[in-house]
Amino acid sequence: MKLLTGLVLSVSTLLALTNAELAQKSKAVMDGFEDSISKMQMTLINAAKQEKVRIMKMKVLEGEDEDKSLMEFLSPADVKGTKFLSYEHVNKDDDQWLYLPALKRVKRIASKNKSGAFMGSEFSYEDLGAFNPKKYKYEGKPTEATFNGKAVYISSAIPISKYSGYTKLVSYIDKETLLIQKIEYYDRKHELLKVGTFDGYKKISGVYRMQGITMKNVQNDKTTILKWSDEKIKNGLTSKDFSKRYLKR
């Protein structure tokens, strides 16, 4: 009887969650990796289903609220050496820089341009920052549904930044693991722009890590797929490994 009562209380507690509380709990299940080094494959698929594949290496440093990340393109030749550095912020727009080897210069990404496409992909500069609940406003409580055979919560978030390319993000969150399964992105006209499907998670040293994202733009019929591999966490990286001077190296 005590076990049954505890189960009922646990379920009731989750059902009583607000959208803001659910977002915090969902983020918490992926916290604690400290830092990450991985390979990444980006596949660009146009409306005619033609594909381009790019290979990158990725480094991420976890902060208490503000992560840092550094991405470098390894191939093909036309993008090799391009680097992207991002400093996440909670109370202001992220700082982001792009190094273009052909021009041998570092370009700062202005806040008003964060909604622009990153390297011709269906990911914007805004998408490349870590999902932090403190960057959004939440109202009400999540609803419940089924997605890919899993029971999920459906939760809405409204970006705080006036430069955001989105008016709303709708997340589908696994009720059992609290891991995000899908996000719907609504543009400034409040119309569905694209859908990001999260292609599985893997536990590395006890921490959940994302394995891939498929971003489908429903307005132009283009898709970009990101896949991570050979990921290692807790490597001992520091802020010095994410200095702007690394961009021109």
What are 55-111's pLDDT values in tens digits? 999 999 999 889 999 999 999 999 999 999 999 998 889 999 999 999 999 999 999
pLDDT of 7: 42
Average pLDDT over residues 4-26: 68
Q: Identify the bridge partners of residue 92 per DSSP, sorted by sequence position.
A: none
Strand pairing class (51-61; 68-75) = antiparallel
- Per-residue pLDDT for 11 more than 60? no
Q: Does residue 14 form part of some domain?
A: no
Q: Does residue 183 form part of some domain?
A: yes
How many distinct structural domains can be found in the chain? 1
Q: Does residue 193 form part of some domain?
A: yes
2-6, 39-43, 107-111: range with highest mean pLDDT: 39-43
Q: Does residue 171 form part of some domain?
A: yes
Q: Does residue 129 form part of some domain?
A: yes
Q: Identify the bridge partners of residue 42 per DSSP, sorted by sequence position.
A: 54, 226
Domain of 107?
20-248
**Which CATH number belongs to the domain containing residue 152 in this structure?**
2.50.20.10
Amino acid residing at 69: S
Q: Does residue 5 form part of some domain?
A: no
- Per-residue pLDDT for 130 more than 80? no
Model confidence at 149, pLDDT cuts 50, 70, 90, reads: very high
DSSP state of 7: H
The pTM of this model reads 0.91
DSSP H helical ranges for the chain: 2-15, 19-28
Q: Does residue 12 form part of some domain?
A: no
Q: Does residue 3 form part of some domain?
A: no
